[in-house]
Amino acid sequence: MVEVVSPESVNRDYRYKRTEYAAAEIPEYWIVDPMLNKISVLRLDEGLYEETVLTDNQQIVSQVFPELRLNIGDIFAAGNIFTSPENPPQS
């Protein structure tokens, strides 16, 4: 499961969905935050999520799909995500 944060959904994506997904026993989900150029990986452990925040050129390795390895910088560059003057598009 992957959630992409928008300005209108920050509280819902970071707070409320965590409770909903834990109740549904979703083993792992990612929160992609293009406004902060980070991805939070949340893994369910004994009913609660453990969060790992990744930025820049760190790599995500999914525990659910271990063959899936993605570079954070590549994800944002591929989307050419432009959200603010501090985060200009890459050329």
Mean pLDDT in consecutive groups of 10 residues from the start of the chain, 91 residues = 91 91 96 93 96 93 92 85 50 46
Instruction: For residues 36 and 10, give the distance between their C-alpha atoms in angstroms, rounded to a whole number.
Output: 11
Please give the pLDDT value at position 79: 73
The pLDDT, as a whole number, for residue 19 is 92
**pTM of the predicted model, to two decimals?**
0.80
Q: Smallest Cα–Cα separation from 3: which of 42, 37, 29, 35? A: 29
Delineate the domains of the chain, giving CATH numbers in brackets.
2-79 (3.90.1570.10)
Task: Give the per-residue pLDDT at 22.
Answer: 95
Asked if 28 and 41 touch (Cβ cutoff 8 Å), the reply is yes
If you write DSSP's letter for every residue of 45-70 in order, what string do you get?
ETTEEEEEEEETT-EEE-SSSTT-EE
- pLDDT at residue number 57: 87
Residue-level pLDDT at 86: 55
